[in-house]
Amino acid sequence: MPKSSEPRSYLVLENYIGGKFVSCGNHIDSYDPSTAEVYCKVPDSGKEEVDAAVAAAKEAFPDWSARSPQQRGEVLNKLADLIEDNMEDLIQAESKDQGKTVTFARTVDIPRSAYNFRFFASSVLHHTTDCSQMDHMGCLNYTLRCPVGVAGLISPWNLPLYLLTWKIAPAIATGNTVVAKPSEMTSVTAWMMCKLLEEAGVPPGVVNVVFGTGQRAGDALVGHPDVPLISFTGSTATAQRITERSAPYCKKLSLELGGKNPAIIFADADLEQCIETTVRSSFSNQGEICLCTSRIYVESSIYSKFLEKFVAAARKWKTGAPSDPSNNNGALISKEHLEKVRSFVALAKSEGAIIHCGEGVDQLNLPEANKSGYFMPPTVISGIPDSSRVMQEEIFGPVTCVSPFDTEDEAVARGNGVRYGLSATVWSRDVGRVHRLAQKLQAGLVWTNCWLVRDLNLPFGGMKHSGVGREGGKDSYHFFTEVKSITIKH
Ligand code: NAD
């Protein structure tokens, strides 16, 4: 609870355990990134709260897992309806909590959160299992899939409700019960979703949400012996800790991690469409999307022309108050994150790179109320070697680097020359070339002549340090269930 000396106007969140809102003794401050003011108190849950949530999820499992996929799907569809009914409130809340623009929350985050439930409500009805005959042995073999039990779901701050529902929906559609822990920096829309669960018909204990830090609540969830599965989205460093922590329990892990995604642009690309999309792929959501482009390799013959037009387009990408629907970008998530992103621009400068626009070059004209917010304009860098940390590490902000290349092989080698392998974008009208590159690039997702077009049936995830496992459609079904091979001698 807020201390008596503090204003009473904070939004105070509560955990959702066993179908009830439960208050927590201690809270963490949560900031509005566009004003730098504390406006919300998030429960600082620990082992006790996680234990209670896991116990509730365990109790709810037998009944929920015994329901048919159709019955569970009806509940998921009702929840999608309720998210749509509350769309505007969720949009405003997500924007305030994360710093993203209302336009991004309206067009991406909240519609997709509803769609995650709708998609898995239907998807789960269409899976089949395998069967094989062994007539010479008089045997018939088949496989069965069963829910795993209590699923631990941990999500990051960049697409808060979108990524949390991407986990909750397939987990419960396949008959598991869940304990979810959203990011402590963006917990509000998850709490709002909890208010809809009862009306949607989600039985008590099927979805439990425990708020708090990774170090306390997240660690207690990963280390809980009754949670056999963890689906995690976040940074590679945290994934390494989760892997170590869960190893003694042999947990099933899905890890969706960071990226350092290249765009490879050939001279025969449709330049207008390519520039429009590459500005979007570099800067959308303040560059705080794991799939954002952060290295742009351009064929030498069009390099100067591309750079000039790209910088001009980046300058038109408007940054300002998240509540103003005409803005393309809002504020970054936190002061610490803004400082980290700025430090990469300073590093590039110290290494002799050219900063064409953005940080240190262009001034933002912010409203008075937003002067202390964590804003940064889209920043384009060139003249930086691939060996620089700026070209190797995930920056996760509105910063992208442009560099020329001469041959297809060089572009592939440089595109692959980082420890990450999440996504890549290829721009060319040569059909043979885009197929060749798609095959050679070390990335879980390759987009050619487009970006962020998603069919939820397809596997989503990265290779190398960008992740382990895939989710989406059949892959989510496989991850959230255990398979058994059964042999019947007849
Ligand atoms: P983060 O790793 O700091 O935190 C992610 C979540 O893990 C949070 O809920 C946090 O509280 C929790 N956590 C932290 N330490 C933990 C621990 N020891 N045990 C258990 N849980 C712990 O990541 P972030 O800063 O919130 O998110 C940004 C990162 O997420 C970026 O690297 C980005 O690329 C990545 N990301 C990846 C995808 C993807 O699908 N591949 C999508 C979005 C974001």
List, for residues 420-431, the tens digit of each pLDDT value. 999 999 999 999
- Based on the fold, state whether residues 252 and 313 are members of the same structural domain: no
- Based on the fold, state whether residues 311 and 222 are members of the same structural domain: no
* 405, 299 contact by CB (below 8 A): yes
* 416 in any annotated domain: yes
Number of domains within the chain: 2
Cα-to-centroid distance, 154 and ligand 1 (Å) = 8
- Tell me what the mean pLDDT of segment 148-153 comes to: 99
Ligand 1: atom nearest CA of 460 is: 40
- Based on the fold, state whether residues 173 and 266 are members of the same structural domain: no
* 76 in any annotated domain: yes
Q: Give the residue, 401 or 4, on which the prediction is more confident.
A: 401
Is pLDDT at 1 greater than 90 in this prediction?
no
Per-residue pLDDT reduced to its tens digit, 67-115: 999 999 999 999 999 999 999 999 999 999 999 999 999 999 999 999 9
* 23, 14 contact by CB (below 8 A): yes
Q: Is the CB of 212 under 6 A from ligand 1?
A: no
The answer to whether 49 is a known catalytic residue is: no
The CATH number covering residue 191 comes to 3.40.605.10
* 316 in any annotated domain: yes
Cα-to-centroid distance, 373 and ligand 1 (Å) = 22
Per-residue pLDDT reduced to its tens digit, 440-473: 999 999 999 999 999 999 999 999 999 999 999 9
Q: Is the CB of 46 under 6 A from ligand 1?
A: no
Cα-to-centroid distance, 71 and ligand 1 (Å) = 32
* 5 in any annotated domain: no
Is pLDDT at 354 greater than 70 in this prediction?
yes
In this structure, the residue with its CA closest to atom 34 of ligand 1 is 258
Per-residue pLDDT reduced to its tens digit, 15-39: 999 999 999 999 999 999 999 999 9
Is pLDDT at 2 greater than 50 in this prediction?
no
Is pLDDT at 4 greater than 60 in this prediction?
no
Q: How much is the pLDDT for 384?
A: 98
* 99 in any annotated domain: yes
Cα-to-centroid distance, 86 and ligand 1 (Å) = 27
- Based on the fold, state whether residues 427 and 341 are members of the same structural domain: yes
Q: 268: domain range?
A: 261-457
- Based on the fold, state whether residues 243 and 353 are members of the same structural domain: no
The CATH number covering residue 283 comes to 3.40.309.10
* 6 in any annotated domain: no
The answer to whether 290 is a known catalytic residue is: yes
- Based on the fold, state whether residues 265 and 370 are members of the same structural domain: yes
Q: How much is the pLDDT for 5?
A: 53
- Based on the fold, state whether residues 78 and 56 are members of the same structural domain: yes
**pLDDT class for 121, splitting at 50, 70, 90?**
very high
Q: Is the CB of 287 under 6 A from ligand 1?
A: no
- Based on the fold, state whether residues 253 and 284 are members of the same structural domain: no
- Based on the fold, state whether residues 339 and 246 are members of the same structural domain: no
- Based on the fold, state whether residues 229 and 299 are members of the same structural domain: no
- Based on the fold, state whether residues 280 and 374 are members of the same structural domain: yes
In this structure, the residue with its CA closest to atom 11 of ligand 1 is 214
* 117 in any annotated domain: yes
Q: What is the mean pLDDT of the chain?
A: 97
- Based on the fold, state whether residues 252 and 349 are members of the same structural domain: no
Threshold 0.85, pTM exceeds = yes
Ligand 1: atom nearest CA of 234 is: 30
Catalytic residue among 40, 290, 357, 401: 290
Per-residue pLDDT reduced to its tens digit, 402-419: 999 999 999 999 999 999
Q: How much is the pLDDT for 323?
A: 98
Q: Is the CB of 275 under 6 A from ligand 1?
A: no
